[in-house]
Amino acid sequence: ELPERVEIYEVGPRDGLQNEQNVVPVAVKAEFLDRLADAGLRTLEATSLVHPKWVPQLADAAELLQVLTRREGLDYPVLTPNERGLDRALSAGCDHVAVFASATETFAKRNLNRTLDEQFAMFEPTVTRAVREGLRVRAYVSMVFGDPWEGGVDPDQAAGVGARLMEMGCDQLSLGDTIGVATPAHVGAVLDACAARGVGVDRVAVHFHDTYGQALANTLAALRHGVTTVDASAGGLGGCPYAGSATGNLATEDLVWMLDGLGIAHGVDLAALVDTSVWMAGHLGRPSPSRVVTALTPE
Annotated catalytic sites, by residue?
A: 240
- SS3 labels along the chain: CCCCECEEEECHHHHHHHCCCCCCCHHHHHHHHHHHHHCCCCEECCEECCCCCCCHHHCCHHHHHHHCCCCCCCECCEECCCHHHHHHHHHCCCCEEEEEEECCHHHHHHHHCCCHHHHHHHHHHHHHHHHHCCCEEEEEEECCCEECCCEECCHHHHHHHHHHHHHHCCCEEEEEECCCCCCHHHHHHHHHHHHHCCCCHHHEEEEEECCCCCHHHHHHHHHHCCCCEEEEEHHHCCCCCCCCCCCCECEHHHHHHHHHHHCCECCCCHHHHHHHHHHHHHHHCCCCCCHHHHHHCCC
To ligand HMG, the closest distance from the beta carbon of 163 in angstroms equals: 17
**186 to 225: interface string for ligand HMG, x by CB under 6 A:** ---------------------x-x----------------
Q: How far is the CB of 56 from ligand HMG (least distance, A)?
A: 11
**In this chain, which of 47, 104, 111, 126 binds ligand HMG, going by CB under 6 A?**
111
**Of residues 8, 12, 13, 15, which one binds Mg ion by CB under 5 A?**
15
Which among Mg ion, ligand HMG, none contacts residue 115 (Cβ within 5 to 8 A by kind)?
A: none
Q: Which residue stretch of 46-54, 89-97, 220-228, 266-274 sits at the interface with ligand HMG (rule: CB under 6 A)? A: 46-54
Q: Is 57 in the site for ligand HMG (CB under 6 A)?
A: no
Residue 279 interacts, among Mg ion, ligand HMG, none and using kind-specific CB cut-offs from 5 to 8 Å, with none
100 binds ligand HMG (CB under 6 A): yes
Beta carbon of residue 153, minimum distance to ligand HMG (angstroms, whole number): 11
> Which of 9, 120, 140, 257 is in the footprint of ligand HMG by CB under 6 A?
140
Interacting residue with ligand HMG among 17, 50, 68, 137 (CB under 6 A): 50
In the complex, the residues that contact ligand HMG under the rule CB under 6 A are 15, 18, 48-51, 54-55, 81-82, 84-85, 88, 100, 111-113, 140, 142, 176, 178, 207, 209, 240, 242
